[in-house]
Every structure is written in structure tokens, then in C-alpha cells.
């Protein structure tokens, strides 16, 4: 069964007049003579020429859109436009029929909304074939980047008792009968009788556990699923998504920024090098989509140009305080065009503010640093001013925040003081505080939302279209 050549290899081959075996799914079959065959290795189809006069009519009827077939034939130079080679079929076998009356993917343009409803089949379209090949390249590139730098890939737990962000938006994990859980004498749920002997949830981040690894292995990274139970029905949020979270001992904030910028540039470059055809297709798709928008909302750059632009420019670095001044004096703020007006220092920046800085003001990716401590997590290193922390966010055009990170607070007294201020129980994180008691050192790390990266590189507008099976409120289909 495995004796086949992938279509991508055949289309790139210089050889002809050789016998080949190809297998794939029929995209179209026209004039009872020409099959457009695709096996997912590329968006480009291979033309199969059928000798219909000498082919059993009952077999011809089975050559329908969506059917899986095996073809043995001769690879020859093509006389038709648009392809170098084609296969003259000697033998065709239908491996799996597809009823043309019922198959939902007909050879026409389908809306992304419709394709989300049939996510189990959308991989077979050009758009989603391209997206998931790019996603694969980005995933491989992330591992390559860290492995080449001597990082240790650490698997942090998916079931955890900690809420790293303190956000409280977690999915609970229990073995109880939820209609009748055991209760304590005071009427509360008795988690001591649960599977893990305490309340547990799906992880929102592997960061805290990642720090434990960094305190012995120096440089680690995680790359795994994370979960948020926030009821957000937006184009930028998912309930289940993938995160890359490196943690590095002996790093400060500048080292952290340098690493994050280098990572983003490396993976974008890999996609441009390895998925040129897919990105060209997605670039054309985006250009068509942009034509539907008002002129002032259209991007100045094509998708390929935007990606190249990120490689060619150093990311602009500035403090939160400097950003607030720019935003306060900006035309949209003065003309009350922002949905969330910038009142002054301490405002939590929204996506519209981040995009203004990136797309209108600097016209390049931006790294913001030194945020007010009130709007950041407890573990971030406090600055000497008592007001700000050594945080950094990387902002990208069209996306807003793509990376969030910080230098971590290594001083036990400062960390405990901050946890008290924020009402985070120290006794539950005794293990985390131990890393500050025994051989603490300066260290830093960041989180990169993988789907937001894929969103940026593919030019798609909805995060549900860059993960194979999206999970969001009221949806856990497939």
C-alpha cells in the first residue's frame, strides 16, 4: 500500500517517461477524461489523463469529487497549461467511493462559516490544506529554534491545582458525580474525597512549573495545550489553545526580549522558505478579502510583504509610560475614535491601542516594557520605582499582543509581599516559593500563543480557522 509517490514530489520532479503510483482524492473529473487529484502534500493538483474509451463505464461513474483512488500510470510532460507533468493512467482503482449527491465539498467556493460546520472535512480544501501545512512548519521550527540553542523540552502538567494567572477562569477536573458530590460538615464540596484529594483544573499555563525546571536545567521550553474557561465568543479567543513557554535562568528582561524577537523572526523565515506556494495562495486569498473592506481598513502590505517586513525590521522597544503618552496625544484619542479612551497612566491597553502603535505610529512590530504592577501578574519582577514591573509584551500588526513575558521576581520577600497584596495563598504555592529559598537567581520567560502566531503568518481573520478542531463556548464538535 505504501508504494506511492507524493504529488508534491512528482510536480517538482524533472523526470518523465517513468511509471508511477499515486494515491489521493479527486477534486474534479471533467469530460470523462481529466482527473484533478490531490493528496494533501501540496495545494497543486496532479492531472490524471483517463483513456475513457477503454475504461469500464461503471468505473468512470465512480470517479466523483471526494472519492479516494489509486492510479498506476506513466508520468509524461503535459501539453496543457498550468502544469509541467501529468499521468497517463494505465490502471485506476477506487479505494473509497464518495456519493456526489451527499458530499458537502463541491468544486466551488465555500464560506469559512460553512467550513467550520464541517471541520472534519475542511482539511480537503485549498485554504485549510495551506493553513495546516504552514502550522506544521511553524511547529517544527519552534522545536528547531530551541533545540539548536540547547533548551530542554519540558512537559508540564495539563491537570494542575494552580491557576498561574490568578484569573479564576479554569475548567474544573473532578471524578465526582456532579449532581451529588460529597460535602463537608459545613456544606462545602469535600475535595479531599476527589480523585486527586484536592480541587484541580486544566492548566492555564505551564509557566510556574517551567520555572522549576529552569532552576536546574537553565533553559527549558514547554509547547502544549492550555485552557481558558472565559466566555468569549470572539475571533481572537479559544477555550483550548497551544502555548510555547520558555523559561531561562540567568536572563534579564533584555535577554528575554532578544530571545523572543529572534524566535519570531526564525519561525517566520522558516515558513517563507518552506511554504512559499501555500503562503502565495493565502496571500491571494487575503488580497481578495481585503477588496471587500473600506479603503481605510485595507492593509498597505500584502501577506508576504508583511511577513518579510517583520524579518527586515528591528522591533521597536519602548516603555508602557512612553506608549501612554503617544496614545494620549494621538488623533484617534483626541477625536474620541478609540472605543476605550486613554485617560492616563495605569490604563490597561486594549487591542485597538496596541494596533495603533504597531500599524499607524511605528509601522513595525513593537515591544512594550515596564507596565504598571497593578495590571500584571504577581510573579513579575518589581522595578525600583515601586510602580512598575519588568514585563514585556510583543505587539504585531493585525493581531495586537502575540507574546507576553517578564523577568521573574527572584527575591523571596518581594514575591511574598506581592502575593499578600494580591490575595494569592502562599501555602498553596509553597513549592514555587522554594525556588526562591534555595539558590534563587535572576530569570525570565515568556508565553507565545501558537494560534495567534499561525493567524499572523497565514493572514486569516478568525482564530477558529487556524486550529484543526476549535473549542469555544457551546462548541466541542468533532
- Identify whether residues 144 and 215 lie together within a single domain: yes
- Identify whether residues 282 and 430 lie together within a single domain: yes
pLDDT averaged per 10 residues, the chain (length 478): 88 93 97 96 96 95 97 92 91 97 91 94 96 98 98 97 71 93 94 94 95 98 95 87 98 98 98 98 94 81 92 96 96 94 92 92 95 95 97 92 97 96 92 96 98 97 95 90
- Identify whether residues 21 and 142 lie together within a single domain: no
CA neighbours closer than 13 Å in the CB half-sphere of residue 196: 10
Q: Cα dist. 85→13, 16, 123, 274, 411 in Å? A: 9, 8, 25, 22, 66
- Identify whether residues 92 and 154 lie together within a single domain: no
Strand partners, 96: 68
Q: Cα 442–444–450 angle (5° rounding)?
A: 170
Predicted confidence at residue 164, as pLDDT, reads 63
Predicted confidence at residue 277, as pLDDT, reads 96
Q: How many domains does the chain have?
A: 2
Q: Which of 245, 166, 276, 195 is nearest to 406 (CA)?
A: 245
- Identify whether residues 138 and 226 lie together within a single domain: yes
Residue 186 lies in a domain: no
- Identify whether residues 279 and 363 lie together within a single domain: yes
Residue 119 lies in a domain: no
- Identify whether residues 90 and 155 lie together within a single domain: no
Q: Cα dist. 135→111, 267, 307 in Å? A: 21, 10, 15
3-class DSSP state for residue 38? strand
Q: Which of 320, 267, 260 is nearest to 444 (CA)?
A: 260
CA 188/CA 468 separation, integer angstroms: 39
| pLDDT digit string, tens, across residues 403-415 | 999 999 999 999 9
CA 120/CA 129 separation, integer angstroms: 12
Domain that holds residue 298: 124-169+204-465
CA 246/CA 221 separation, integer angstroms: 4
3-class DSSP state for residue 33? coil
3-class DSSP state for residue 304? helix
CATH number at residue 346: 3.30.930.10
Residue 189 lies in a domain: no
CATH number at residue 93: 2.40.50.140
Residue 18 lies in a domain: yes
Residue 115 lies in a domain: no
- Identify whether residues 72 and 211 lie together within a single domain: no
Q: With beta carbons less than 8 A apart as the criterion, state whether 21 and 70 touch.
A: yes
Residue 472 lies in a domain: no
CA neighbours closer than 13 Å in the CB half-sphere of residue 383: 17
| Count of Cβ atoms closer than 10 Å to residue 370 Cβ | 22
CA 131/CA 105 separation, integer angstroms: 18
Residue 184 lies in a domain: no
Predicted confidence at residue 271, as pLDDT, reads 98
3-class DSSP state for residue 79? coil
Residue 259 lies in a domain: yes
Burial degree of 295 (CB within 10 A; 0-12, 13-18, 19+): exposed
Predicted confidence at residue 168, as pLDDT, reads 62
- Identify whether residues 133 and 102 lie together within a single domain: no
Q: Return the sign of the alpha-carbon dihedral for residues 341, 347, 349, 354.
A: positive
| Count of Cβ atoms closer than 10 Å to residue 258 Cβ | 13
Predicted confidence at residue 232, as pLDDT, reads 82
Size of the chain, expressed as the number of residues it contains: 478
- Identify whether residues 27 and 55 lie together within a single domain: yes
Burial degree of 120 (CB within 10 A; 0-12, 13-18, 19+): exposed
DSSP 175-188: -S-TTS--B-TTSS
Predicted confidence at residue 189, as pLDDT, reads 94
- Identify whether residues 425 and 280 lie together within a single domain: yes
- Identify whether residues 65 and 213 lie together within a single domain: no
This prediction's pTM: 0.94
Q: With beta carbons less than 8 A apart as the criterion, state whether 119 and 104 touch.
A: no
Amino acid at each position: 500500500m505504501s508504494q506511492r509517490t507524493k504529488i508534491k514530489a512528482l510536480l517538482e520532479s524533472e523526470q518523465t517517461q517513468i511509471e508511477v503510483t499515486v494515491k489521493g482524492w479527486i477534486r474534479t473529473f471533467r469530460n470523462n477524461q481529466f482527473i484533478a487529484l490531490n493528496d494533501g502534500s501540496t495545494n497543486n493538483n496532479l492531472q490524471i489523463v483517463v483513456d475513457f474509451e477503454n475504461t469500464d463505464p461503471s468505473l468512470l461513474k465512480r470517479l466523483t469529487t471526494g472519492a479516494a483512488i489509486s492510479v498506476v500510470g506513466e508520468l509524461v510532460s503535459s501539453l496543457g497549461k498550468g502544469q509541467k507533468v501529468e499521468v497517463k493512467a494505465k490502471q485506476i482503482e477506487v479505494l473509497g467511493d464518495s456519493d456526489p449527491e451527499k458530499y458537502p465539498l463541491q468544486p466551488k467556493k465555500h464560506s469559512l462559516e460553512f467550513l467550520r460546520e464541517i471541520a472534519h472535512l475542511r482539511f480537503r480544501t485549498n485554504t485549510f490544506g495551506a493553513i495546516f501545512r504552514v502550522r506544521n512548519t511553524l511547529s517544527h521550527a519552534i522545536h528547531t529554534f530551541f533545540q539548536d540553542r540547547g533548551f530542554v523540552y519540558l512537559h508540564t502538567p495539563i491537570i494542575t491545582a494552580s491557576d498561574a494567572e490568578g484569573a479564576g477562569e479554569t475548567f474544573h477536573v473532578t471524578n465526582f458525580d456532579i449532581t451529588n458530590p460529597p460535602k463537608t460538615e459545613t456544606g462545602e464540596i469535600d475535595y479531599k474525597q476527589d480523585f486527586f484529594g484536592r480541587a484541580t483544573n486544566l492548566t492555564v499555563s505551564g509557566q510556574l512549573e517551567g520555572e522549576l525546571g529552569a532552576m536546574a536545567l537553565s533553559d527549558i521550553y514547554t509547547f502544549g495545550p492550555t485552557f481558558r474557561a472565559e466566555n468569549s465568543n470572539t475571533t481572537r479567543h479559544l477555550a483550548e489553545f497551544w502555548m510555547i513557554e520558555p523559561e531561562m535562568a540567568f536572563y534579564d528582561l533584555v535577554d528575554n526580549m532578544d530571545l523572543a524577537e529572534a524566535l519570531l523572526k526564525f519561525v517566520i523565515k522558516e515558513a517563507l522558505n518552506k511554504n512559499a506556494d501555500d503562503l502565495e495562495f493565502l496571500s491571494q486569498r487575503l488580497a481578495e478579502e481585503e477588496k471587500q473592506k473600506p479603503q481605510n481598513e485595507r492593509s498597505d502590505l500584502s501577506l508576504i510583504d508583511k511577513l518579510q517586513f517583520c524579518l527586515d525590521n528591528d522591533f521597536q522597544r519602548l516603555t508602557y509610560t512612553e506608549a501612554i503618552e503617544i496614545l494620549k496625544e494621538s488623533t484617534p484619542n483626541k477625536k474620541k475614535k478609540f472605543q476605550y479612551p486613554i485617560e492616563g497612566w495605569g490604563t490597561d491597553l486594549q487591542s485597538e491601542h496596541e494596533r495603533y502603535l504597531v500599524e499607524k505610529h511605528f509601522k513595525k512590530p513593537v515591544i512594550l516594557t515596564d507596565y504598571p504592577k497593578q495590571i500584571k501578574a504577581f510573579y513579575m519582577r518589581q522595578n525600583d520605582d515601586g510602580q512598575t514591573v519588568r514585563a514585556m509584551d510583543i505587539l504585531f500588526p493585525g493581531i495586537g499582543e502575540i507574546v507576553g513575558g517578564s523577568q521573574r521576581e527572584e527575591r523571596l520577600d518581594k514575591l511574598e509581599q506581592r502575593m499578600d497584596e494580591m490575595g494569592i495563598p502562599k501555602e498553596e504555592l509553597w513549592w514555587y516559593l522554594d525556588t526562591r529559598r534555595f539558590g534563587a537567581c535572576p530569570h525570565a520567560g515568556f508565553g507565545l500563543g501558537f494560534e495567534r502566531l499561525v493567524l499572523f503568518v497565514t493572514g486569516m481573520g478568525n482564530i477558529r480557522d487556524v486550529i484543526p478542531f476549535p473549542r469555544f463556548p457551546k462548541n466541542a464538535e468533532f
